[in-house]
Amino acid sequence: PAKPAAAKPPGKQSKAAKKAEELARKQEEDRLAALIEEERLQREQIEREEELKRLAEEKRLWLEQEGRRLADEKLELEPSFSNRAKLAILEQNKLQEADEWESFMQTNRHPDIRQESEIATYLTLWAEDTEMDLHKVLSDVQQSIDIVYSMETLVAENLANKDAVADLRATKDERSPP
C-alpha cells in the first residue's frame, strides 16, 4: 500500500514550489526591468529628437539671419562694386588707347593687329620678300614673335573684357526689379 503524502506544515513549501515561485519572481523582476529600460530608452529617444529639432530650428534661424545680413551687405556694397567695375573698364580703355598711340608712334613695320586688312597686307609683303640676308631674316622672325605676342595679349584682353561686361550686366540685372 502506498503511503499517503504527508501534509506539510504551513509556511513550508516543497523545493519545486520554491523554485517555481523564485522563477516567477525573477521573471517578474526581469519584465519590470525591461519595462523600465524601454521607458528610459524612449525618454532618451524623445530627448534626442527634441534636441535635433531645437538644433535644426537654431540653424534655420541663423541661416535666415545670415541671409538677411548678407543681402543687406550686398545692397550696401553694390554701388561700390559697380563703380569699381566701371572704373576698371575706363582704366582698361585708357591703357588700350595708350598702347594704340604707342604703336602708332613707333616707326616699325608692325601691322595693327586689330585690323585684319593690315595683317593680310603684312603677310603678303612678307611672303613676297625674297631677300635672304641673315640679319633681315632674324629681324623678321623677331617681328613675327612680337606680333604673335600682341595677338595673344589682345585675345586675353578681349576675353577678360567679355567676362567683366558679363559680370557688370549680371550685377545690373540683379538690381533691376523683375
∠ CA 77-82-86, rounded to 5°: 150
Q: How far apart are CA 116 and CA 118, in angstroms?
A: 5
Identity at 31, one-letter amino acid code: R
pLDDT tens for the chain, 178 residues: list them.
Answer: 555 555 555 556 788 888 999 999 999 999 999 999 999 999 999 999 999 999 999 999 999 999 999 999 999 999 998 899 899 999 999 998 988 788 777 656 678 888 889 889 888 988 888 877 888 888 888 888 988 998 898 899 888 878 777 776 776 666 555 5
Identity at 26, one-letter amino acid code: K
Residue 168 CB coordination number (10 Å): 16
114: its cell numbers: 586689330
Provide the whole-model pTM.
Answer: 0.37
How far are the Cα atoms of 9, 138, 141, 151 from residue 145, in angstroms, in the given order? 123, 11, 6, 10
